[in-house]
A and B are shown apart, each in its own frame.
Chain A
Amino acid sequence: MAMELHDFCSTSGVVIVAGKGGVGKTTVTAALATAAARAGASVLIIEVEGKSGISTALGLPDLEYEEQEARPGLRARTLTPDHALLEYLEDRGLKRVSKQLVRSGALDVVATAVPGMKDILVLGKVKQIERTGVADLIIIDAPAAGHAITFLLSARGLLDAVRVGPVRKQAADVLEMLSDPKRCRVMLVTLPEETPVNELVDTAFALEDRVGVKLMPVVVNAVPGDLALVGTTAAEDAAAAGLAAPPEAAALDAAAAFRHERHELARTQAARLASLLPLPQISLPFVFGEIGPIQVGQLADAFASGVAALPGPAT
């Protein structure tokens, strides 16, 4: 039975998109968000680590703490640890102290004393946003893979380190959200290349075993499409079409061979990923050139077809 995009997107309230640096995590975030918004969901993208390029992909100016609308039903904002911390203290009536703490640098010391403190503040804020129900789907553009594990492990680590107080409560609430697949799942992204595939597999097992978070289908990004041009040469095609041999024959053949080779490599790596990790895959095509709103729109289509082809419905 095929899965509807709408069902796919509404399975969890929060989707955390994670992957090694350079695999196109941000592009995938934008494509998923666009696909979900088109399917009628109200979507909020939250960028948690510096400038990720999501604003360019969506055709927005640099993101800010305040939400911006990219298209009807699709909004985006940032959420930095510093902001989350200030807000956390302000919510508890400590606004004046918080300014002083930031100025004196004492906050850095405390944040260092409690590993994962900043991460838990960010995730705590995500949880708070989730609870207010401002969007059907909240998509988090997560830190790069290594850090993503630390990021998501922060709740468990903090429960061990801090025995009392509101931060402990915060950590417990975050952990509850992370381990409830109806509220939160993680979507891992990779390129169809050896090293990124290996790292994705390691990350996947670490997240399931150590964080207890439910994984969505993995996204294999930038897969070159097959042009099925092998078997003949440009000169042979020209002859068969009743044309003179093209002057660029050598370059045409080399480009077709290059494309074919990359396509085959991607297939091999996707198959290897499937054998190492028992999760369904969604593949997105390689995009020639820069990723802007038009390309994101095309990738959203590809995403929707990928979801439709999944064995479903998801559990």
Chain B
Amino acid sequence: MSIDRLIDQSHVVVCCGTGGVGKTTTSAVLALAAARRGRNAVVVTIDPAKRLADTLGLEELGDTAREIARDRWDPSGIAPPAGRLSALMLDTRATFDGLVHKHAESPEQAERILANRFYRNIAGALSGTQEYMAMEKLHELHDEGGFDIIVVDTPPTRHALDFLDAPARLTRLLDNRIFRLLMVPSRRSLRLASLAVQTFLRTVAKVIGSEVIDDIVAFFRAFEGMEQGFRERAVNVLELLAAPTTAFVLVTSPRRDAVGEAEFFAERLRESELSVDALIVNRVHPDFGVQSTPFELRARAREIGRREIAVGETEASARLALRYENLADYVSLAQHERDELARAGDRIGAGVVTFVPSLAHDVFDIAALDAVGRHLVG
């Protein structure tokens, strides 16, 4: 599948990759390209660079998608009338709070949870929370937003795909035997649990003090009755990710470690029976369209350097040799990058591998996003 078809046919596009490879930019490029092709597109970004956020009209964290005025993204008025572009910057905490409000049985229950110190730590710090909330936001936009295509950026960590087992993670937290026993005030179960619980409490209290325990117990009590809603929601998110109209795009740079991470992500997706639809490689070096091999270019440089030359020709000759060396360096780098990536693409099983050349300037404005888009979309 080409990138054109991917953005024409997908309802959800998830962009994954390690930090520093241009994932957020690529997400914005894909959403803009989709809008240009007449789709109502939204991009969910995570921590964009400030100037990109400004371009997308994201002055602050937003819980809701905001449409970007048409004259800002299509100043020459050439996009089809159906094309629309919206953006939002993920606010993990606000999204989690929203989820608590949605599933709480009463406003009081929600307030009790939101005020709990343990909850505040989970909402901000539990490994995978940000990832999970990105997916929650995705599901909300899918349910309520009326968008044709939703492009989601993922956090730049190795754990970026933790949302795949977020249901299991959250359930494990909620199902934790020790904490369940703490929640149930019945004498019988307390006696049953007494050994494990007491050992645990003693240990924890010894290490961090008993206040922390009180917070945890209060949280689990407050959360009672809400687990089911959370669990169902998590299952729905996974169904959406597994839908045939959902595409996974891996973003990488040609750096070996970044490619290694891309393969790690691909493996992770495969474990969850999901497949990679495209591999987008940013910042590949140019080969300047030469037919000669780096070996031939270097041989030529040596030949020029070794020539018997007349006085006055030395400097020009050295410069020419250096030009050949320089070209050989780039050609060799470009070939190496393309070979490595073609092999990685095969291993990953990506339907399409697309290259975006290394650009002289960081990509911030609409014109630059469009310029990158032209490398991705025919």
Q: Report A's interface with B, CB cutoff 8 A.
A: 20-23, 26, 49-53, 56, 89, 92, 94, 97, 100-101, 104-106, 108-110, 112-115, 117, 144, 146-147, 161-168, 193-196, 198-199, 227, 229, 232, 234, 236-243, 246, 248, 250-256, 258-259, 261-262, 265, 288-291
Q: Which residues of A contact B80 (CB under 8 A)?
A: none
Q: Which residues of A contact B196 (CB under 8 A)?
A: 100, 104
Given contacts A241-B316, A242-B313, contact A50 B323 (CB under 8 A): no
Cβ < 8 Å to A, chain B residues 204-222 = 204-209, 211-212, 215-216
A32 to chain B, nearest CB (A): 18
30 A-B interface contacts by CB (under 8 A): A21-B156, A22-B21, A50-B158, A52-B257, A92-B207, A97-B199, A97-B200, A106-B176, A109-B216, A113-B212, A113-B215, A114-B121, A144-B156, A144-B157, A162-B212, A164-B208, A166-B207, A198-B50, A229-B326, A232-B316, A237-B320, A241-B313, A241-B317, A248-B297, A253-B323, A255-B288, A256-B323, A256-B326, A259-B330, A288-B332
Give Cα A97 to B49, complex, Å. Answer: 45
Is B207 a contact of A112 with CB atoms below 8 Å? no
Given contacts A232-B319, A251-B327, contact A22 B209 (CB under 8 A): no
Partner of B126, one of A112, A168, A198, A254: A112
Q: Which residues of B contact A97 (CB under 8 A)?
A: 199-200, 203
B173 at interface, CB cutoff 8 A: yes
Partner of A259, one of B207, B316, B326: B326
B203 to chain A, nearest CB (A): 5
Give Cα A291 to B257, complex, Å. Answer: 10
Q: Which residues of A contact B18 (CB under 8 A)?
A: 21-22
B338 to chain A, nearest CB (A): 13
Give Cα A235 to B200, complex, Å. Answer: 79
Partner of B323, one of A106, A165, A234: A234
Interface of A is mostly: helix
B343 at interface, CB cutoff 8 A: no
B294 to chain A, nearest CB (A): 10
B244 at interface, CB cutoff 8 A: no
B124 at interface, CB cutoff 8 A: yes
Partner of B121, one of A49, A113, A144, A254: A113
Contact with A along B181-202 (1 / 0, CB 8 A): 0000000000000001001100
How many interface residues does B have (CB within 8 Å)?
70
Is A227 a contact of B326 with CB atoms below 8 Å? yes
Q: Which residues of B contact A236 (CB under 8 A)?
A: 316
Contact with A along B115-149 (1 / 0, CB 8 A): 00010011011100000000000000000000000
Contact with A along B341-377 (1 / 0, CB 8 A): 0000000000000000000111000000000000000
Partner of B329, one of A108, A239, A251, A288: A288
B333 at interface, CB cutoff 8 A: yes
A230 to chain B, nearest CB (A): 11
5 other contacts beyond A113-B212, A254-B288, A256-B326, with CB at 8 A cut-off? A22-B253, A89-B203, A146-B47, A165-B206, A255-B326
Q: Which residues of B contact A161 (CB under 8 A)?
A: 212
Taking each of B47, B50, B204, B309, which has the highest tally of chain A beta carbons within 10 Å of its own beta carbon? B204
Given contacts A163-B209, A289-B332, contact A110 B121 (CB under 8 A): no
Q: Which residues of A contact B299 (CB under 8 A)?
A: none
**B296: nearest residue on chain A (CB-CB)?**
A248
Q: Which residues of A contact B361 (CB under 8 A)?
A: 194, 265
Is A167 a contact of B255 with CB atoms below 8 Å? no
